[in-house]
Structure 1
């Protein structure tokens, strides 16, 4: 594994860092105050990211995307992660799952998403089906060459600004050695399709301005040509997507933690108490050391997983370790940074209280910390048939 950063990668890092500081940071305070990302700001950031070539950096170059390898993409997402999530997600990473599009689907969904003409969202979670995806109740029943969809989804990120949804629904039951299990199929469903409505979601303490929504399907009729991938094999499509997404979460947490550590370090070098800077007190300096250590450990796990993804041999355990370590590390770093700054750390003049609030969802979405630990332990025990 090569630990050095190439000149091209450094150029990308510098470009993204400048973009974040110039295009994203100026809007953070307003979003935190109002909880709203205006259409004007959204479009401004989107156009700026298109102009500088950051949009759809994860998609193949031959399709019009950035064509970045996993390591370089992880470095890019780390820098984006320093900003408010409501702002940085606009520098879109269309779902890799769209690469499963075939035929007319490519022209209708994949290519417009890469060009920034359409935005996708992913609908997997339900009120009674979070980590236990197979228990989903949203169903799609075949009716000739159509499917009739009924059910609901919730916690669907940015569905309020999306043009279509990548929907996972139950399409039957199959017998397995462990008993009956639901078959899952993924579909591409356009916003505005009769029988499909989008409602505002819940107020969250994390990621203000980034909305979650509730999707309702009431006899929503779609054509079989809107199946993404193979009927009854939606999990095959999802499994390809989940690993890369968990790496994205890990990378963004690295960027946020790095920003928090920088603020805490600067404060420790300038703030004076009892006649000296507080960084000279062991109670503070050891905190900084531990924060830096945990950040580096999480970074190494994440970059190692990204490197293995480029080699074509990243495992579920690699992605799980990266997400688990990075998300839990961010919580520790944010909390310690606030402790070092004292009362000022909780004031909204600084981004620390936001980073502290925002970190909490990272240990839940895209697979809870408990799910990641299950993945890791399962990989250890299965070879022993335990």
Structure 2
């Protein structure tokens, strides 16, 4: 087994880290203070990302992307995790699910997204359907040659900047021995479509400037050309492409934890109490030791799950393990860092309180910790008939 990075991977890490430090860090204060990303800053980040050759680097070369493998892309996301999500959003990584585009959809959605001409967002969650995707109430019914959509989606990240949204909608229901079961279809919905409204969502304590939006459908008519994949085939599309979102949460959690750890380490070495650096006290030094051990473990767990995907191996359980462990590790690391900083950790003179706030959502979105544990245990028990 080889645990080292290749020369090319080392270059990816250093390039993206340098970009984050030089193009993201300087703007974080204004985003924290205002809760918004000034349009000119977002466009500048996007332009520089394109010049760097990293825009849509998660897409294959055949459609104009950089063709990075899963491990390589995990390294990109890990370094982006060091910066404000509201700002790194413009370091474009369109949804991989767009690879399911066919026919005219390729020219209308896939290629413009890869070229940075159009931005996308993904919508599944509803007020009454979070982890329970089949419980969604946003429905599309047939009317002539169109679909008529009614309902609401919420907590939709990136929809404030999106030119189109990939929306999962219930298109029917089957009776099963376990009760009614929704059929789900993915649709491509353009901003400005009649009957489709995007409005501001809720004010969140995590990731200021990275807004969640509410989508409302009121007799919104969509033609068959807007169906992504097959009618009633939303779960097939989901299962083929959406595994990447959980790896993203894990990798970004590792990157953010490493940045937070650097603050803790430096502070422990510089801050003096009782005539010596606080890092010399066992109560602090042991926390430092535990933090780096957990960060390294989460890092390797995450890269190992990405490696399995590159090898064409099953990775559902491994990805779930990486997501739950890395997100919970981040919570522990940010909390321990705040404790090391003491009262100053809660003040906005330092970014520690921001990292602490931001860490909380990672255990919720893209599948809660409870859902990840369900996936892990199911994968282990099913082969045994349990």
- The TM-score, its normalising length taken from structure 2, stands at 0.98
Classify 1:51/1:128 alpha carbon distance in 2 versus 1 (closer, same or farther; 3 Å). same
SS of match in other structure, 2:57: coil
SS in 2 for 1:129: coil
Q: Is 1:35 aligned to 2:35, yes or no? A: yes
Aligned to 1:314: 314
- The answer as to whether partners of 1:59 and 1:96 remain within 8 angstroms in 2 is yes
What CA distance in whole angstroms lies between the structure 2 residues aligned with 1:57 and 1:113? 12
Cα deviation for residue 341 of structure 1 reads 1.1
Secondary structure of 1:219's aligned partner:
strand
Which residue does the alignment assign to 2:57?
57
Listed as ranges, the gaps of 5+ residues in structure 1 are none
Aligned position for 1:167: 167
8 Å contact kept, 1:169–1:184: yes
- In the aligned structure 1, how far is the partner of 2:112 from the partner of 2:336? 43
Q: Using the alignment, how far apart are the partners of 1:314 and 1:256 within structure 2?
A: 27
The alpha carbon displacement at 1:315 in A equals 2.3
Aligned match of 1:366:
366
> What's 1:6 paired with?
6
Query: Would you say how many aligned residue pairs link Structure 1 and Structure 2?
Result: 386
1:242 deviates by 2.6
DSSP-derived class of the 2:242 partner? helix
Partner residue, 1:260: 260
Aligned to 1:206: 206
Task: Provide Cα deviations, 1:51-81, integer angstroms capped at 9, x if missing partner.
Answer: 1112111011121111101111111111110
Aligned to 1:285: 285
Q: Who is 1:97 aligned against? A: 97
- 1:349 and 2:349 are equivalent in the alignment: yes
The Cα offsets for residues 129-174 of structure 1, whole Å up to 9 and x where unpaired, read as: 0011101000111123211111110001121110001011111112
Q: What's the offset of the Cα at 1:239? A: 1.6
The Cα shift of 1:352 comes to 1.4
Shift of 1:176: 3.3
1:13 counterpart SS class: helix
Pairs within 5 Å for 1:1-386? 1-386=1-386
1:131–1:367 CA contact under 8 A, matched in 2: yes
Shift of 1:177: 4.2
Shift of 1:243: 1.3
- 1 CA distance for matches of 2:308 and 2:31? 37
Question: For 1:124 and 1:295, how far apart are their aligned partners in 2?
Answer: 31
Residue deviations 1:262-281 (CA, integer Å, cap 9, x gap): 11001111111111111111
CA contact (8 A) 2:195 2:221 kept: yes
Contact map agreement 1:305 1:314 (CA 8 A) in 2: no
Structure 1, 271-280 or 15-24: larger mean CA deviation: 271-280
The SS at the match of 1:220 is strand
Corresponding residue SS for 1:159:
coil
Give the whole-Å Cα distance in 1 for the aligned partners of 2:255 and 2:33.
Answer: 22
Aligned equivalents of 2:315, 2:49: Cα separation in 1? 31
CA offset digits 1:316-360 (Å, max 9, x no partner): 211100100000000000000111111222222322111110011
Return the alpha-carbon distance in structure 2 between the equivalents of residues 251 and 349 of structure 1: 27
Alpha-carbon distance in structure 1 between the residues aligned to 2:170 and 2:68: 34
Q: CA RMSD for the aligned pairs?
A: 1.0
Name the CA distance, whole Å, in 2 between partners of 1:12 and 1:66.
12
SS of 1:181's partner is strand
TM-score (norm 1): 0.98
Q: For 1:242 and 1:65, how far apart are their aligned partners in 2? A: 18
Equivalents in 2 of 1:292, 1:80: separation in Å? 19
Question: Deviation string for 1:69-111 (max 9, x for gaps)?
Answer: 1111111111110001101121111000000000100000000
Following the alignment from structure 1 to structure 2, what is the Cα–Cα distance between the partners of residues 315 and 258? 25
2-structure distance, mates of 1:68, 1:351: 32
